[in-house]
Amino acid sequence: MSDPKPLVCDFVLRHARELLTMNGDDALGIVDGGALLARDGRIVWVGHDGDVGRAADDDAPVQIADDAIVVDAAGACVLPGFVDAHTHTVFAGSRADEYEERLQGRSYEEILAAGGGINRTVAATRDASPQTLADLTRRRLDAFVRHGTTTVEIKSGYGLDLESERRILAAAAVAHPVRRVLTFLGAHFVPEEFDDRADEFIDLVCEEMLPALRGVAEFVDVFCDVGAFTVEQSRRVLVRGSELGYATKIHADELARSGGAMLAAEVGCVSADHLVHATWEEITALKQAGVVAVALPGTSFSLGGGYAPARDFIDAGLTLALATDFNPGTSYCENMQMAIALACQQMRLTVAEALRAATSGGAAALGRAHELGSLAPGKACDLIVLAAETHAELPYHFGVNLVDGVVIGGRPIVVDGLPWRREADE
């Protein structure tokens, strides 16, 4: 019998002081003195640096190609890239003035009712050209990746008519190395032209928009809250979306108790997001239905309000994801490190819980746990090298960017804190 053909790797990462694999049910799966080999963007081998020369995949020996990309972590901490499972990245205009007003005591709901808020962003976004939306999105994705995010979920929802929603989803898919998962959030808000006719707008979402955007977006989401949509209206969107083959998500219990968490359990959503006002009964229902809880501490910080009971989510055995909720109204922040710091301080998560929620938890909230959010053979080679020796620095050394290097699909995208060569991506 001839010897098995060696598997030739085109990527090698060496000398990680801590390599956080996120393997195992609740631990970080740390390899001290770690190394990792990949081929064609997929991980082939993870182990101790001293074993690189003896690496093998099943029965085949693993070799490193002469021209392989070599990343020397030089004693730093390495972990999977962050998976930001909840963002509203595509919009035009700014609401900095509203934030300033909120700092003076005006509430988000008051601003919304006075014609500010989401509808203001809708007007600016409808006016923006496809090129402008694509440019804005690309720049924001640059910011996400510089801060260590390798996969971004992007919701539409600032168009609220079919063509504008389609333009937003097209901009969300702009050429860029960051992985994207797209979500249709047509039921984000009742647009001005449907004032007092929310049910008719829901008809439009269900009968026109959802069928037309099938295949463009993978998920459908709905804002189930006071001032947005009721449980009945939200149920219609999610049920129709499911019939059409969309996976489902819901903005639930963000501003008030909305009944959204129970609806998520009833419909079998992949995730229920926000959950600031979720009760123990609702948490139990989410657990039974296998719904991932997505906590968005940046939103609570920015609204100056309460935080989701994420400690209870974990204690109840829910899978938890942390995300930024990047949007112009309630969380203008692309940085998952900020979400981690807030979750540790304000939601009483351990560092390990927060890091899992920011990586493998995010992947679960996108139905991608099989390929993203952890470092193991067969998974995507998406990782970050910190400017720190240990993961404990992440919440501790807050307010600065601790990401030194980013690799997506086995390709260095950020090196020494600086972006990649742009020509290669266009």
Structure tokens at 414: 């950020």
Complex with ligand NIG: residue 80 or 186, whichever CB lies closer: 186
Report the interface residues with ligand NIG, using CB under 6 A.
88, 117-118, 121, 223, 251, 254, 299, 325, 327-330
Which partner, ligand NIG, Fe ion, none, binds residue 118 by CB below 5 to 8 Å per kind?
A: ligand NIG
Which partner, ligand NIG, Fe ion, none, binds residue 319 by CB below 5 to 8 Å per kind?
A: none
Rounded to the nearest whole angstrom, what is the least distance from the CB of residue 260 to ligand NIG in the complex? 11
Chain position whose Cβ is nearest to ligand NIG: 329
292-295/77-80 β-pairing: unpaired
Complex with ligand NIG: residue 276 or 320, whichever CB lies closer: 276
Rounded to the nearest whole angstrom, what is the least distance from the CB of residue 56 to ligand NIG in the complex? 47
Give residues 238-277 in contact with Fe ion (rule: CB under 5 A). none
CA distances from 423 to 136, 206, 376, 385 (A): 18, 41, 31, 23
Complex with Fe ion: residue 183 or 337, whichever CB lies closer: 183
Chain position whose Cβ is nearest to Fe ion: 325
Rounded to the nearest whole angstrom, what is the least distance from the CB of residue 159 to Fe ion in the complex? 15
Rounded to the nearest whole angstrom, what is the least distance from the CB of residue 325 to Fe ion in the complex? 5
Binding window for Fe ion (CB under 5 A); candidates: 24-32, 318-326, 341-349, 403-411 = 318-326
Whole-number CA gyration radius for the chain: 22
> Could you say whether residue 325 binds Fe ion (CB under 5 A)?
yes
Which partner, ligand NIG, Fe ion, none, binds residue 201 by CB below 5 to 8 Å per kind?
A: none
Binding site residues, Fe ion, CB under 5 A: 325
